[in-house]
Amino acid sequence: MAVKKLCESFSKGFVEEVQRWGCMKQTGVSLRYMMEFGSDPSHRNLLISAQFLHKELPIRIARRAIELESLPYGLSEKPAVLKVRDWYFDSYRDLRSFPEIKDTNDEKEFTQMIKAIKVRHNNVVPMMALGVQQLKKGMDPKIVHEDLDEIDQFLDRFYLSRIGIRMLIGQHVELHNPNPPPHCVGYIHTKMSPLEVARTASEDARAICLREYGSAPNVNIYGDPIFTFPYVPTHLHLMVFELVKNSLRAVQERFMDSDEVAPPIRIIVAGGVEDVAIKVSDEGGGIPRSGLSKIFTYLYSTAKNPMDEDSYHGTADAVTMAGYGYGLPISRLYARYFGGDLQIISMEGYDLQCACRD
């Protein structure tokens, strides 16, 4: 994977411009605002949205591009990270090169461009995971994970920013859909059933488990089937999918050679006055206390890492049961993006309980 140094790929003046834009203040956008604004996807509102993104996206992308140049322990120099860096600089250049958006034709062209940017960044997460793996391979074994807090803090910022960028682009693009699904405003479902999303995510996770092990524990889901709330279904699906996938693996591996029937995974969905909570629990043996402090880092996994640097060609790998080390921390970021959280409670030797709050 040959990637040039920054000075070889981009001019000094261009890099200095990216640094200036990276220091500008970004504008926060709430779920409520996106839902209310997007409820009327008129030509005027789409034009206003495009003009906002034309100014906002370069700021957000520039921040991450510059930060990718100054990571600790030599992470910035890893080939996979350099490739991601170039994607961010290329996207910044595309956005800044686009002329002022004045009419509907400009808006349509801009929308096509940001769709292409979103596709360019599709594989940022696995590519960054590969970069972290490249770092781990050459790392001094004396360095313990507590010393790598700076990397975890960067990756939290980086991935949270990525969620925001993709949400803004995806929301704008989806508002062009002439036939949106019922109760949908762009990416947002105004009457999303968390029970239905949990059921779909569980079925997807069981399919992966069946593919890898030949069998899969059952998943029992409890909650009010008519309860709904406004949220982004793809975000909740990702969180529940990751949690259930982890639980299925733990239970399957614990009872694989046992005469006992593998106990089911349990999901409870509860809607309160202020919060919506989703609890996923299993009897997969829990996590040792010594490992609990590591589960939200990007350099830790309880399974063998399936990513092979020599066979990785820059395309998305098939979903596997575990191993990349970013499923839980990124799921927590998705929960936190709109003000929620993800918590883990473990009883070693018995079970693991994960709770998402939105």
One DSSP character per residue, 138-178 reads TS-TT--GGGGHHHHHHHHHHHHHHHHHHHHHHHHHHTT-S
pLDDT for res 317: 46
Name the residue with higher pLDDT: 193 or 136. Answer: 193
- Indicate the range of 9-13, 22-26, 103-107, 279-283 predicted with least confidence: 9-13
Q: Structure pTM?
A: 0.88
Query: Does the pLDDT of residue 298 top 80, yes or no?
Result: yes
- Indicate the range of 54-63, 87-96, 120-129 predicted with least confidence: 120-129
Per the structure block, which two tokens stand in for 188? 């947002």
CA gap 282, 250 in Å, rounded? 8
Residue 358's nearest CA partner among 125, 39, 38, 31 is 31
- Interhelix angle 104-120/43-67, rounded to 10 degrees, is 30
pLDDT for res 94: 98
What percent of the chain lies above the pLDDT cut of 70?
A: 86
Q: Where are the beta strands (DSSP E) in the chain?
A: 184-185, 188-192, 219-222, 229-231, 265-271, 276-282, 341-347, 351-357
Model confidence over 319-358: pLDDT tens digits? 555 556 688 899 999 999 999 999 988 877 666 666 677 7
What percent of the chain lies above the pLDDT cut of 90?
A: 68
Query: Does the pLDDT of residue 273 top 50, yes or no?
Result: yes
pLDDT bin (cut points 50, 70, 90) of residue 260 is confident
Average pLDDT taken over every residue of the chain: 88
Query: Does the pLDDT of residue 55 top 90, yes or no?
Result: yes
- DSSP state, 261? P
Paired sense of beta strands 351-357 and 276-282, if any: antiparallel
Contacts with 321 (C-beta within 8 Å, 6 or more apart), sequence order: 208, 209, 212, 213, 245, 248, 249, 303
3 state DSSP class of 180: coil
Average pLDDT over residues 202-218: 95
